[in-house]
Structure formats: C-alpha cells, structure tokens
Structure 1
Amino acid sequence: MQCLSDLAPICPAAFWIALTLGTMVPATAQTDSPIKVISDSPLPAGDGFAAEFSRDQDIANHSAVIFSDDFESGELGAKWDDTSNRGDSLAYVHESASQTSQNPSLLGERSLKVTATLGENTGGGFTKWFESADRLFIRFYTKFDKDCDYVHHFCTLRANKSLQGGDRWSGFGGAGELPDGDERFSTAIEPWGNWGRWPPPGRWNFYSYWHTMNESPDGKYWGNGFRPESQPNIQRGSWICVEFMIRHNTPGQNDGEQAFWIDGELRGHWKGFNWRTSPTLFANALTLESYVTDRWTKQSENVVYFDNVVIAKEYIGPSGKDG
C-alpha cells in the first residue's frame, strides 16, 4: 500500500483507486470524472533540448532550466535545500560511467546512491524548493539494483503556499486527508507493485493528491493512481530516463494536466485536473528519494541510484551523448 507523506510513513489498509485510460476503478469510484486520458497527445517525445548537451554538461545555461544537478561535484546535497539521510543511507558513488553499458557516454562519473535497509532505515533523499512556472517538466535518471525490492515512495512534486517560512511546508504531510485547494496538491512518479502482483519494483504510476480527488472506500483520501492500461515491468540493473510534466489549472477550473515519459517514450497524458483554487498556489518543491516501508518488501537491503536531475519549463528529453 502506498500513500503520500514524510510525516505519516505507514498507511493503514485501504484500497488505492487507480485511473486507467480514463476509467476509474473499482466500482466505488466517482463517475463522470473530468479527468480523461489523451490517446492522441500533442506532447513531444524522443529528444528534447537536453540532446544539445553532452551528459547534461552546461544544461543549466539553457533558458528553460530552473534547476539541475548531475551530482558530479560538491558535498552531499549541496545544491538542494533539505537532505533526509536516515541512517547514512545517502552517498555519492562512481556508478554511472561503469554501469551504463547500454550507453556509456550518456551520464557522467558520479551518481547518488540511496540504500534502504529494513529494520535500520527507510532510505532518504533531497528536496529542492524553486520558483515555479505554468508548466513544469522534471527529468531524472534512475537505476534499481538487481536485488531491489518494492519501493514505497519515490519522486514527488508538491505545491506549497509559499517558498518562505512555515508556508513552504504546506504541501508536505496530510496522508489520507483531502487537501484544501488553496493549501496543497502533489503528484509523484513511483514504481507500483500492485500489492505484490507485479515483479519488483513494479510498473510506473502517478500517485496524486488534490482537492477534487476521489474518496477511498475506507472514507479517507489516499492518493489516486494514474497509469497506462498496459506497460512493461520496470527492469532492474539498467539506467532509466524518467520525465514527468504538470500543467497548472486555471484556479477552480478543470484544465490542469499531467504526463510522463520513460526513456523518451510518452507513456501517459491526462487532462481535466482541478489542482488548485488559488492563483498563488504553485508546484514548487521536488523531493527526490527512495523510501522503503512497503509491506511486500522482503529484501533486507534495497539500493536505488539517481543521476542527471533537471527541472525545466519545456520538455527535456534524454541526456545528450558524447560526440
């Protein structure tokens, strides 16, 4: 079972309502949802502007880039605003170059390693607050170790009331609670194991909280899931380029969007979100993490790698190659 929270790490038993090709399941879900899958999406795919930058070198100079970190230099979390390093779970390692055999020139030398050890820690990660935009694209590379089991939470984009003071935390916590439309919303791109039915770590899935989301059968509000009707299982042991997009809605209207790409392939695009009611509420914090507490996780040590993180106002696409 998965639910959003840094402040409420364990979810009680509850069903996760999933959206598949515009149809909500199970039968207890809302009807006449304004959210629809876009089968003939106009969104780009394949190469984006990152193709111009070998291994993302100097990509921060592109006019569309809000934030980037290739982990090639600096102390742990130096470019980020908050570090969650439970039990020394985070480390910079020289994993990228030696283990990117399918494309050895794609990434740099150093990457972020997150190790979650059952009974000792739940993993960890970084959070970055930033000035937002109408449309946001978040792209990163990740690799699940060959023995990595199910992961509870992954990479989450959160809307907070402000970048200052206590309001910068308004989008954190609130697991199982319906958000206020002027206080918070969030969406996370995560591997989901379908309650142990799919091989770990599972398949890619959005896990989203917003003020018009569906109620769960237990009367609470657990994140609603969005994924394509069919897609392959996530392969362990290989680097994967993950990108997702969110478009803010006109406050109070159902014109918000989200989409995600895997290795430059558009996997799903959904329209009809009423993310917010306030014109000052924006998605403005990214948490990059591997957080492991899932009840189906049996492997004692679960390792995930991250590299080449970019937040931008345009489609990013896979990193450019050398030469």
Structure 2
Amino acid sequence: MRHDVLSTAMVVITVCLISTLCVATSIQAQSQPAIQWVETSQLPKGQGFAARFVADRNIASHEDVLFADDFETGELGAKWDDISNRAHALAYVPPSGDLSLLGERSLQVSAKLNENTGGGFTKWFASTDRLFIRFYTKFDANCDYVHHFCTLRANKSLEGKERWSGFGGAGLLPDGDERFSTAIEPWGNWGKWQPPGRWNFYSYWHTMKPSPDGKYWGNGFRPEEQPNIERGHWICVEFMLQHNTPGEEDGEQAYWIDGELRGHWRGFNWRTNPSLLANAFTLESYVTDRWTQQTRNTVFFDNVVIAKQYIGPSGAPK
C-alpha cells in the first residue's frame, strides 16, 4: 500500500515538474522575439510626397496627413494636446542654420542641469495600420548626450485615463493589451560615441527581451555601422511603425535620416488586442546627468508630420 502511495506521489511530482518546465519554457519562448533585419527592404526612400510642399507649407491638406505643425503660427504648443515646459525650457526661435526649408520659427528645447530636464509636446491622434512620423531636428554645437528623445506610444484609448496607458512603466514588461512604444533617439553607447551619439530605436513591447538585471528596459535597434550624429546642422528624421496582426509576429519598424533608409526590422508582436494602437507622439528632448556633463543642452525641432505613407524631406524653395 505504501509502495503504491509513493509511486503515485512520484508520478504527481514528475508531472508537476514537467508541467512547470513546460510553462517556464513557454514563458521563455514568448520573451524571445524573432526580430529580423530586412536586408533588401522595399520601403521607399529619398523624396516622398512632402517634396511637393515647399517648406511644408499647406502639407496638412494632403489626404494622408494625420497631423502637421511647422510652428509658424499660434501660441506655444497650440496644435498639441500636452505641453511639458519645465522651467521655461521651450521657446519659438528663428531657425538659424543651413536650411531654407523651415520658415520663420522653430521649437527650441533648452535643458539645463540642476534646473530642468528639458521638455516637449505630446499629440494624441486617430491611428492607422501603418504610421510614418517625420520631423527636422538640430543639436546645438555644444549639446551633450540626450537621455530620451521622440517617442510613439500605444494607448488603450484616446479618452480618459486610458489615453495614458502607454506612458510610464520603465523597467517593466508591458501587457500586450495595454501598451507598447518605440522611440527614435540618439544613443551614446555608454559614452563611447561622440555626443549626442548615433540614431537608435528604443522599443518596449510585451515579448521584448529582458535586460541582464532581469528588468525590462527598452530593446535597442540600429544598423551595425552608421556615422555619429553631426551637431550644428538640421537633420530630417523619419520613422515608420507597422502594427502587427494581434498576437502575430508581423509588426515592423524602420527609420530614415535625410531620406536615407538606415534600418528596417520585421517580426514584432507589438500587441495582442486590435484596439491597442500607436496613437500618441511625444516630441521632446529629455536630459539627465547620468552621462551628460554639459550644463546647457539645446535641441531644435521643426516641420513635424504624421502620415499614412512615406513623407520624405520637405520641398526645397525654387
């Protein structure tokens, strides 16, 4: 009798161990994304529909534009839904520099250590299956490393508290029906690359890889080789996000610099719920003293467009 009890107990323990192993293996498999670099991308490059709009004038009239702001008219942040202006970090200024595409005003973000961390604007918008976001930016000649830059976030809704579900959560694994995000930003490689660094995607989603400390910090995506970001010159930055079929690994992202396609990745399982959409864009320069030593760090922005198709650089004056 005791032998039968022990045998039964051993079977139960074995089954439990196998079940636990299977669950652990399943969890591990789910946390390892099958992201692929696209070697021969068919995405467009060079000029897009913006080439038909000199300095982006009237570009909002294009049927595929969801939002546009060239900062030429209105009060500070008038076209945006949320303003983060810590210690008066934001201002409209003439777009001094080497481009004649930017009109009479640009947005200046001045982050001052021990005074503020910078700031920016956020816009919520009705999303679409594939999104393109383009803006111009310039890093001041003395600008140091930037902690966070421009971020596209998926929120559960455009209304009430659910419009904020994609914000926060640093170091935590997102829920597939609550949030995901991707940011295009300069990355300094822990101080190895000249400030402000090189262009990089910083992405959060529910099947992302954990960091060595066991937490879930953003996963980075960038080509193996690309030049350092040049300070003191206007740069046209554009990125694309393709929503996945909920639960499937068919999501994508890509980015362009001055019309050059720098990187295209496939295999993202961004979300598990079809109602979760990338629907909020934050244009900002956020600086902390973790790697930044320069006291004042200034970044400029202009000609922001969110659209359903590739935008490309602004049209040049004839």
* TM-score, normalised by the number of residues in structure 2: 0.90
Instruction: Give the whole-Å Cα distance in 2 for the aligned partners of 1:89 and 1:175.
Output: 24
Cα displacement string for residues 162-210 of structure 1 (whole angstroms, at most 9, x for unaligned residues): 0000000000000000000000000000000000000000000000000
Percentage identity across aligned positions? 76
Instruction: Give the whole-Å Cα distance in 2 for the aligned partners of 1:129 and 1:35.
Output: 28
For residue 234 of structure 1, give the secondary structure of its aligned residue in structure 2: coil
For residue 166 of structure 1, give the secondary structure of its aligned residue in structure 2: helix
Q: Given that residues 113 and 304 in structure 1 are in contact (C-alpha distance below 8 angstroms), is that contact kept between their aligned partners in structure 2? A: yes
Give the corresponding residue for 1:194. Answer: 189
Instruction: Give the whole-Å Cα distance in 1 for the aligned partners of 2:124 and 2:241.
Output: 16
The one-letter amino acid paired with 2:250 is D
- More displaced stretch, 33-42 vs 182-191: 33-42
1:298 positional shift = 0.4
Instruction: Give the whole-Å Cα distance in 2 for the aligned partners of 1:274 and 1:226.
Output: 15
Give the corresponding residue for 2:97. Answer: 99
Cα displacement string for residues 18-57 of structure 1 (whole angstroms, at most 9, x for unaligned residues): xxxxxxxxxxx99974110001000000000000000000
1:1-323 correspondence to structure 2 within 5 Å: 33-94=33-94, 96=95, 98-100=96-98, 104-323=99-318
Instruction: Give the whole-Å Cα distance in 1 for the aligned partners of 2:308 and 2:299.
Output: 27
Q: Given that residues 32 and 207 in structure 2 are in contact (C-alpha distance below 8 angstroms), is that contact kept between their aligned partners in structure 1? A: no
Q: Gaps spanning 5+ residues in structure 2: where?
A: 1-28
For residue 87 of structure 1, give the secondary structure of its aligned residue in structure 2: helix
For residue 50 of structure 2, give the secondary structure of its aligned residue in structure 1: helix
RMSD: 1.4
Q: In structure 2, do the counterparts of structure 1 residues 256 and 263 end up closer, same or farther at CA, with 3 Å as the change threshold?
A: same
Instruction: Give the whole-Å Cα distance in 1 for the aligned partners of 2:129 and 2:291.
Output: 38
1:105 positional shift = 2.6
Give the corresponding residue for 2:23. Answer: none
For residue 259 of structure 1, give the secondary structure of its aligned residue in structure 2: strand
1:242 positional shift = 0.2
Show structure 1 runs of 4+ deviating over 2 A.
Answer: 29-33
Instruction: Give the whole-Å Cα distance in 1 for the aligned partners of 2:44 and 2:188.
Output: 28
Give the corresponding residue for 2:4. Answer: none
Cα displacement string for residues 125-181 of structure 1 (whole angstroms, at most 9, x for unaligned residues): 000000000000000000000000000000000000000000000000000000000
Instruction: Give the whole-Å Cα distance in 2 for the aligned partners of 1:120 and 1:110.
Output: 25
Q: In structure 2, do the counterparts of structure 1 residues 105 and 61 end up closer, same or farther at CA, with 3 Å as the change threshold?
A: same
Cα displacement string for residues 268-293 of structure 1 (whole angstroms, at most 9, x for unaligned residues): 00000000000100000000000001
Q: In structure 2, do the counterparts of structure 1 residues 150 and 79 end up closer, same or farther at CA, with 3 Å as the change threshold?
A: same
For residue 99 of structure 1, give the secondary structure of its aligned residue in structure 2: coil
Instruction: Give the whole-Å Cα distance in 2 for the aligned partners of 1:140 and 1:269.
Output: 18
Q: Given that residues 30 and 214 in structure 1 are in contact (C-alpha distance below 8 angstroms), is that contact kept between their aligned partners in structure 2? A: no
For residue 249 of structure 1, give the secondary structure of its aligned residue in structure 2: coil
Q: Which structure would you say has the larger Rg?
A: 2
Q: Given that residues 145 and 304 in structure 1 are in contact (C-alpha distance below 8 angstroms), is that contact kept between their aligned partners in structure 2? A: yes
The one-letter amino acid paired with 1:110 is R
For residue 168 of structure 1, give the secondary structure of its aligned residue in structure 2: helix
Q: Given that residues 33 and 207 in structure 2 are in contact (C-alpha distance below 8 angstroms), is that contact kept between their aligned partners in structure 1? A: no
Give the corresponding residue for 1:12. Answer: none
